[in-house]
């Protein structure tokens, strides 16, 4: 999003499904498992298809519910079948696991059959498993889950033991011990089976018979394993993870009275483990889970009667009068508090538990903080009112901060503590555990959290805190009656609006919008809630630019929000670490100014002026931009109301605005890295003050501003490449505004001395040896107003023309040539057209040809350097400038456009439209169609206008995608049939067809071959095409940019039979001339790509009859002894293929022998060996042997 860039977190499309549409296919897949499990390929294909189907339902797993039991039974039938081989059983369990992964084991567990007859087979299957086998972990995982369901059967397990003596006379383990051994075995493995073993423990240990005889021993084993294992080693981490999972599940599912005797011991062991110091996030999270479940075990499972109960959560209830109900509820709460006085002992361990949870709120990982927050909420709900209040007091300590002023806040706690604290507050509020008496303590913290943004290095932290603060607001909206929040409603609503519109992160803006919506619906007291909600909904706040520049203006129209929004921008956003946010904030201030002009002028501007010369770089940058934008907005407002531009400004404010540049200059703040921000900021200030028509004419400050603009353009080489463009554009914009306001006399003319000095100085800088300085002053000349160009036009155009000329010293100065071409078009547009006018004042007959000649040279710039095709920037600028100048002439004096010039323009554009780089091709195509379809009036002298309009219909001008090779090339190749365009289109196509980009190559080649098929039956058209092709080759001989891809294209055309018409004629001039050109092209060349392409062309030429055939063989045999082994090898390979393809070119009696020599010889061997084999081939085919030439 972000204008053109996409912001992280933006909505992406997804499929919304209605039902499990693939149920029949899944049934077939499961039914076919017996047939596919034996073959690796078919097995993997079945699994891949099943995974593909199931993954579609990850976000809507409930759609599977109706089909779960059927799928499970089908798969378990395979498992229960004694005839199923192990690989098939594993495959069935793999399918079961995939279903479990999508739907979740909790929903899946009750569907397992739990009959008595399943117990022994499942135990036997588990006994056969290898706990360390990485291929079958799904089997072990599902068997353990199944066992956890079977062990719930309501029979004493001793009944299943029978005679404990096995067949061999060995004592057999009791069933109870077998299950425990299995659980213990899998609690210490590192795969998914460990999670299932923890579930098994939680179901099995709480059975009455197991609890009495095994629970104490099992817990002793778990605690001893915890004590012995270190979370610093890999093995220790795995064991600790399993033990914690087992304990957490046990204390979740076990009865309180069964677990209470062991809770203190477990807590003590957990304290000794010091999990909070572990670097393993999962262990710390499991520790939090266990601690909170131990805490819930210590306190009675009663719901606190003192908690705040809002009652009905229906939104419809908000529309009815609830006054009487509220009064009744208050009386009931008072009575409940009286009943709650019955004291009960709270164990001392609870303090330890709560302390650990509060520490967990500050953990570095979100999932640990979230678990701790839920624990705080659950335990507080079971405590007496006084103790719960103590917990809330301790929780509020997470938000310690010192506040000296609005913008001077130092946080004593980390962002982690703030985030965890917000989550805990939301949990307490959601459960009604934050009584209305505490709201006054919580709301200030919540408001601060909504704007929490702590700078860390080059960026900041706090987006998660702001997101959690929105959750608090959301929870409060649901928790409290409107009357309780009335005192704070303005603060909360303003803070949420500010977060929804001005937050940097899209997820925070959306969270704030959702919280605002919840408050509007539940509370019904937010000012203008429905109106704001409509403008700032979930989707509208997705685009940051839209939020700052559009939505903010609408909301600021409501007086309750205007001042808070302005204050937030001034206090929090103009000093933001992200320059994009600072700039957006200042533009937002510009747009909001008409909503509160007096406040902006009398309060905000005086506050900003000292900040604009302050010590902090970011604040200074934002404040200068804010001063510029607000000043401009106030002056526009004054002009609209027919008041003086200084109506809103005091003398002190005007003086402060003037002093900014002088202060920065005297403190040398334009130097160094800070200068990269200060220069464009002050240039923007100059531009806005000039546009505001400030009464500074004749003031010395104008000279200072002019110095800054010139100095910024002169020092572009000293700033980073990232800042260069911004500084250049800011300085040029400032120059244009400054000249238009302060350098023009009342008669509309320039001061001759000032004009002469400025133009001469700028033109002289165009020949500077630094490229960036040329760029800056080229664009500056392009921005000069007409009154400064009057009488100096020829001097300016000559200066810019020199910049566009490529000389040996400045070959790589592509950016300066680009900017000079852009400037020429801008100058022409500024001075206007007058055919009979002076060439010093207008574009006229005397200088139009010179202007076009300069612009047309830019279209032929193919300079490349380490950055790539930098000439592309020049060509792009030349095309734009040609269009702008042509349309300018057409609309004023079309007769100045020469027919030959127009033809040149259209032909060059056609060539660029056929070239390989998508961006430049698209630009050329767009300009081509703009000129072709321009109607006010039409551009004269366009060659083949009617045919062009048929190929490019007006209706497709906007829809034709020139970036897509598949759309562009089928159209542009049709121009090959138009004589005026044929040469240029073929020149462009040769670079594309012979290029390296796969898509460009494919579509351009296909389009060319399609065209060639259409002219196969037209000898004159084919002759014309071949003449043009040879001319392109001849004109670009030894020009590797064209000749190398052209050879590749010729190779493809010969292989595709494009010239089959000439194969019947002996010594046809086309192949003869082509052979001569190819031979000349590769003469003394060491370019491997060129040599390899030429081999293909020579092999293709062998199909033509006549004397040339022997010369082609001679050339190929020369290449068989080329110094480069790769060329020798390629030649041999291609000659072999040539003999296969064109068998009639050699005597059939010797073909096999020749092919044997070609295929059996090691052409990468030493040259004397290779030369001997080559000479044998020459003798065999009666071709003269190439002779060694002495050097």
pLDDT of residue 721: 87
Region of poorest pLDDT, from 169-178, 931-940, 1071-1080:
169-178
pLDDT beyond 90 at 888: yes
CA separation for the pair 712, 156 (Å, rounded): 90
pLDDT beyond 80 at 339: no
pLDDT beyond 90 at 189: yes
Mean pLDDT across the stretch 741-745? 91
Mark 738-764 as b/e (b = at least 16 C-beta within 10 Å): bbbbbbbeeeeebeeeebeebbeebbe
Q: Are 353 and 292 in contact (CB under 8 A)?
A: yes
Q: 3-state DSSP call for residue 611?
A: helix
Residues 1119-1131 have pLDDT tens digits of 999 999 999 999 9
Mean pLDDT across the stretch 929-941? 95
164 falls in which pLDDT band (50, 70, 90)? low
pLDDT of residue 14: 52
Mean pLDDT across the stretch 597-612? 96
> Which structure tokens are listed for 85?
């081989």
Nearest alpha-carbon partner for 713 in 781, 805, 612: 781
pLDDT beyond 90 at 1144: no
SS (H, E, C) 1015-1055: CCCCHHHHHHHHHHHHHHHHHCCCCHHHHHHHHHHHHHHHH
> Which structure tokens are listed for 113?
């059959």
Q: 3-state DSSP call for residue 981?
A: helix
Q: Are 479 and 434 in contact (CB under 8 A)?
A: yes
The alpha carbon of residue 268 and the mean position of all alpha carbons in its chain are separated, in whole angstroms, by 49
The alpha carbon of residue 307 and the mean position of all alpha carbons in its chain are separated, in whole angstroms, by 46
Mean pLDDT across the stretch 581-588? 98
Mean pLDDT across the stretch 281-292? 95
Q: Are 477 and 544 in contact (CB under 8 A)?
A: no
pLDDT of residue 325: 45
843 bridge partner residues: 833
pLDDT beyond 50 at 361: yes
Q: Are 1121 and 1171 in contact (CB under 8 A)?
A: yes
Mean pLDDT across the stretch 338-342? 49
> Which structure tokens are listed for 570?
């001034």
pLDDT beyond 60 at 317: no
401, containing H or E segment: strand 401-405
Q: Which CB contacts under 8 angstroms, 24+ apart, belong to 663-670?
A: 663/613, 664/613, 665/704, 665/708, 667/613, 669/620, 670/708, 670/711
12 falls in which pLDDT band (50, 70, 90)? very low
pLDDT beyond 60 at 343: no
- Helix %, strand %, coil % of the chain (to 5): 70, 0, 30
pLDDT beyond 80 at 134: yes
pLDDT beyond 50 at 403: no
**Rg, Å, the chain Cα set:** 41
Mean pLDDT across the stretch 857-870? 94
CA separation for the pair 173, 151 (Å, rounded): 16
404 falls in which pLDDT band (50, 70, 90)? very low
4 falls in which pLDDT band (50, 70, 90)? very low
> Which structure tokens are listed for 1069?
């001039």
pLDDT beyond 90 at 1132: yes
666 falls in which pLDDT band (50, 70, 90)? very high
pLDDT beyond 60 at 787: yes
> Which structure tokens are listed for 488?
């704070």
Residues 446-486 have pLDDT tens digits of 999 999 998 888 788 999 999 999 999 999 999 999 999 99
CA separation for the pair 1116, 1174 (Å, rounded): 10
Strands 401-405 and 408-411: antiparallel
pLDDT of residue 1076: 96
Q: Are 96 and 138 in contact (CB under 8 A)?
A: yes
User: Considering the chain, what percentage of its residues have pLDDT values greater than 70?
Assistant: 94
Helical spans, DSSP H, in 569-700: 579-592, 597-599, 605-611, 617-640, 651-666, 672-691
> Which structure tokens are listed for 474?
């959301």
pLDDT beyond 90 at 1173: yes
CA separation for the pair 755, 1064 (Å, rounded): 73
171 bridge partner residues: 165
Strands 401-405 and 459-461: unpaired
pLDDT of residue 312: 53
pLDDT of residue 408: 44
pLDDT beyond 90 at 108: no
Give the N- to C-terminal CA distance of the chain in Å, as an integer: 66
Residues 215-257 have pLDDT tens digits of 999 999 999 999 998 888 899 999 999 999 999 999 999 999 9
Q: Would residue 964 be called left, alpha or beta, if left means φ above 0 and alpha means ψ between -120 and 50 degrees?
A: beta
Q: 3-state DSSP call for residue 408?
A: strand
Beta-carbon contacts of 425 under 8 Å, excluding residues fewer than 6 positions away, are 395, 434, 442, 445, 446, 472, 475
> Which structure tokens are listed for 1065?
């004629």
- For helices 281-298 and 349-360, the axis angle rounded to 10 degrees is 150
406 falls in which pLDDT band (50, 70, 90)? very low
Mark 1045-1066 as b/e (b = at least 16 C-beta within 10 Å): bbbbbbbbbbeeebbebbeeee
Measured in degrees and rounded to the nearest 5, phi and psi for residue 868 equal 110, -145
Q: 3-state DSSP call for residue 233?
A: coil
User: Residue 654, exposed/middle/buried by CB under 10 A (0-12, 13-18, 19+)?
Assistant: middle
CA angle 185, 191, 192 (to 5 degrees): 95
Q: Are 463 and 511 in contact (CB under 8 A)?
A: no
CA angle 53, 59, 65 (to 5 degrees): 70
Place of tokens 């538990």: 353
CA separation for the pair 909, 927 (Å, rounded): 8
pLDDT of residue 450: 96
pLDDT of residue 5: 46
CATH number belonging to domain 350-565? 1.25.10
Mark 825-842 as b/e (b = at least 16 C-beta within 10 Å): bbbbbbbebeeebeebbb
Place of tokens 């290449």: 1119
pLDDT of residue 1142: 87
Beta-carbon contacts of 997 under 8 Å, excluding residues fewer than 6 positions away, are 916
pLDDT of residue 261: 94
CA separation for the pair 1173, 1158 (Å, rounded): 9
CA separation for the pair 739, 721 (Å, rounded): 28
Mean pLDDT over each residue of the chain, to the nearest integer: 91
CA separation for the pair 226, 210 (Å, rounded): 22
Region of poorest pLDDT, from 388-402, 606-620, 788-802, 923-937:
388-402
Mean pLDDT across the stretch 340-359? 82
69 falls in which pLDDT band (50, 70, 90)? very high
**Of residues 412 and 741, which shows the higher confidence score?**
741
Q: Tell me the pTM.
A: 0.85
Torsion of CA 970, 974, 975, 978, to 10 degrees: 180
Mark 456-493 as b/e (b = at least 16 C-beta within 10 Å): eeeebbbbbbbbbbbbbbbbbbbbbbbebbeebbeebb
> Which structure tokens are listed for 306?
């003192």
557 bridge partner residues: none
> Which structure tokens are listed for 96?
């079961």
Residues 260-276 have pLDDT tens digits of 999 999 999 999 998 98
Omega prior to 479 cis, within 30 of 0: no
**Of residues 397 and 765, which shows the higher confidence score?**
765
Q: Are 594 and 648 in contact (CB under 8 A)?
A: no
pLDDT beyond 60 at 163: no
pLDDT of residue 827: 97
User: Considering the chain, what percentage of its residues have pLDDT values greater than 90?
Assistant: 80
CA angle 643, 645, 651 (to 5 degrees): 115
pLDDT of residue 320: 55
**Of residues 796 and 400, which shows the higher confidence score?**
796
């Amino acid at each position: 999003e972000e204008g053109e860039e996409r912001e992280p977190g933006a909505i992406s499309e997804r499929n919304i499904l209605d039902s499990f549409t693939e149920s029949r296919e899944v049934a077939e897949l499961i039914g076919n498992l017996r047939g596919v499990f034996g073959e690796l390929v078919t097995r993997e294909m079945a699994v891949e298809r099943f995974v593909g189907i199931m993954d579609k339902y990850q976000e809507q797993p409930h759609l599977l519910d109706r089909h779960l039991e059927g799928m499970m039974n089908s798969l378990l039938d395979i498992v229960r079948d004694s005839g199923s081989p192990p690989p098939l059983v594993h495959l069935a369990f793999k399918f079961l696991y995939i279903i479990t992964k999508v739907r979740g084991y909790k929903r899946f567990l009750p569907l397992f059959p739990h009959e008595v007859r399943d117990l022994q087979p499942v135990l036997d299957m588990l006994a056969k498993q290898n706990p360390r086998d990485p291929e079958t972990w799904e089997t072990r995982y599902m068997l353990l889950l199944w066992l956890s369901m079977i062990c719930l059967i309501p029979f004493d397990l001793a009944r299943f033991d029978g005679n404990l003596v096995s067949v061999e006379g060995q004592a057999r383990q009791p069933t109870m011990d077998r299950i425990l051994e299995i659980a213990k075995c899998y609690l210490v493995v590192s795969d998914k089976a460990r999670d299932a073993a923890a579930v098994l423990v939680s179901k099995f240990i709480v059975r009455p018979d197991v609890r009495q005889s095994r629970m104490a021993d099992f817990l002793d084993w778990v605690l001893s394993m915890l004590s012995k294992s270190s979370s610093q080693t890999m093995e220790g981490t795995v064991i600790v993870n399993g033990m914690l999972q087992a304990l957490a599940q046990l204390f979740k599912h076990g009865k309180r009275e069964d677990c209470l005797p062991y809770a203190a011991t477990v807590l003590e062991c957990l304290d000794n483990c010091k999990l909070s110091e572990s670097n393993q996030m999962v262990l710390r999270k499991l520790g939090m889970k266990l601690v909170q479940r131990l805490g819930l075990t210590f306190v009675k499972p009663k719901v606190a009667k003192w908690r705040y109960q809002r009652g009905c959560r229906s939104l419809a209830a908000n529309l009815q009068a609830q006054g009487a109900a509220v009064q009744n509820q208050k009386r009931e709460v008072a009575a409940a508090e009286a009943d709650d006085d019955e004291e009960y002992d709270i164990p001392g361990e609870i303090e330890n538990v709560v302390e650990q949870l509060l520490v967990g709120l500050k953990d570095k990982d979100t999932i640990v903080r979230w678990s701790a927050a839920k624990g705080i909420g659950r335990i507080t709900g079971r405590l007496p009112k006084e103790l719960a209040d103590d917990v809330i007091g301790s929780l509020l300590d997470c938000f310690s901060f010192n506040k000296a002023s609005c913008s001077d806040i130092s946080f004593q706690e980390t962002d982690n503590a703030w985030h965890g604290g917000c989550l805990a507050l939301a949990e307490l509020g959601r459960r009604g555990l934050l009584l209305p008496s505490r709201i006054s303590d919580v709301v200030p913290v919540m408001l601060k959290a909504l704007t929490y943004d702590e700078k860390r290095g080059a960026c900041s932290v706090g987006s998660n805190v702001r997101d959690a603060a929105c959750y608090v607001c959301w929870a409060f909206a649901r928790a409290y009656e409107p009357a309780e929040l009335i005192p704070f409603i303005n603060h909360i609503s303003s803070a949420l609006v500010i977060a929804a519109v001005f937050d940097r992160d899209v997820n925070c803006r959306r969270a704030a919008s959702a919280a605002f919506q919840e408050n509007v619906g539940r509370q019904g007291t937010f000012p203008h809630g429905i109106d704001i909600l409509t403008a700032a909904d979930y989707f509208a706040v997705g685009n940051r630019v839209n939020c700052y520049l559009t939505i903010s203006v609408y909301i600021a129209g409501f007086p309750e929000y205007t001042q808070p929004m302005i204050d937030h921008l001034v206090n929090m956003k103009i000093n933001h670490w992200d320059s994009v946010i600072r700039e957006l904030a200042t533009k937002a201030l510009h747009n909001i100014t008409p909503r509160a002009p007096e406040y902006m002028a009398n309060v905000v501007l005086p506050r900003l002026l000292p900040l604009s010369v302050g010590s902090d770089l970011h604040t200074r940058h934002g404040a200068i931009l804010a001063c510029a934008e607000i000043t401009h907005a106030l002056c526009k407002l004054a002009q609209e109301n027919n008041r003086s531009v200084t109506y809103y400004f005091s003398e002190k404010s005007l003086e402060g605005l003037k002093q900014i540049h002088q202060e920065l200059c005297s403190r040398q703040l334009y130097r160094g890295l800070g200068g990269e921000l200060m220069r464009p900021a002050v240039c923007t200030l100059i531009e806005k003050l000039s546009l505001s028509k400030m009464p500074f004419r004749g003031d010395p400050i104008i000279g200072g501003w002019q110095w800054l603009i010139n100095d910024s353009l002169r020092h572009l080489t000293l700033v980073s490449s990232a800042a260069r463009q911004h500084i250049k554009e800011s300085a040029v914009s400032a120059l244009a505004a400054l000249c238009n306001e302060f350098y023009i006399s009342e008669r509309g003319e320039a001061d001759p001395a000032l004009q002469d000095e400025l133009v001469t100085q700028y033109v002289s800088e165009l020949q500077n040896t630094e490229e960036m300085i040329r760029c800056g002053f080229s664009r500056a000349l392009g921005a000069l107003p007409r009154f400064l160009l009057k009488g100096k036009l020829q001097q300016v155009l000559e200066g810019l023309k020199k910049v566009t000329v490529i000389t040996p010293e400045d070959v790589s100065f592509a950016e300066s040539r680009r900017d000079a071409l852009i400037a020429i078009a801008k100058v022409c547009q500024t001075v206007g057209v007058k055919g009979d006018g002076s060439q010093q004042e207008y574009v006229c007959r005397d200088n139009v040809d010179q202007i076009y000649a300069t612009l047309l040279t830019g279209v032929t710039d193919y300079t490349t350097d380490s950055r790539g095709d930098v000439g592309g920037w020049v060509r792009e600028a030349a095309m734009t400038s040609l269009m702008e100048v042509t349309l300018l002439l057409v609309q004023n004096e079309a007769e100045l456009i020469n027919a030959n010039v127009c033809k040149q323009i259209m032909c060059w554009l056609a060539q660029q439209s056929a070239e390989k780089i998508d961006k430049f091709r698209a630009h050329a195509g767009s300009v081509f169609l703009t000129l072709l379809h321009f109607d006010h009036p039409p551009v004269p002298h366009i060659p083949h206008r009617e045919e062009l309009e048929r190929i490019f219909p007006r209706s497709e001008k906007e829809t034709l995608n020139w970036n897509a090779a598949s759309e562009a090339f089928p159209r542009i190749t049709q121009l090959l049939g138009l004589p005026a365009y044929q040469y240029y289109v073929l020149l462009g196509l040769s670079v594309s067809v012979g290029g390296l980009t796969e898509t460009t190559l494919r579509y351009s080649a296909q389009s060319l071959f399609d065209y060639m098929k259409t002219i196969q039956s037209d000898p004159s058209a084919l002759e014309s095409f071949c003449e043009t092709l040879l001319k392109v080759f001849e004109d670009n001989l030894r020009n590797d940019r064209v000749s190398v891809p052209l050879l590749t294209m010729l190779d493809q055309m010969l292989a595709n039979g494009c010239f089959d018409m000439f194969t019947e004629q002996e010594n046809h001039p086309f192949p003869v001339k082509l052979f001569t050109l190819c031979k000349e092209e590769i003469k003394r060349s060491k370019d491997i790509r060129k040599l390899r392409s030429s081999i293909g062309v020579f092999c293709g030429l062998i199909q033509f009859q006549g004397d040339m055939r022997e010369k082609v063989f001679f050339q190929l045999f020369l290449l068989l002894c080329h110094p480069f082994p790769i060329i020798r090898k390629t030649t041999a390979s291609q000659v072999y293929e040539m003999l296969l393809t064109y068998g009639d070119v050699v005597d059939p009696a010797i073909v096999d022998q020749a092919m044997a020599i070609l295929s059996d010889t090691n052409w990468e061997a030493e040259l004397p060996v290779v030369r001997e084999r080559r000479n044998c081939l020459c003798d065999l085919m009666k071709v003269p042997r190439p002779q060694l030439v002495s050097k």
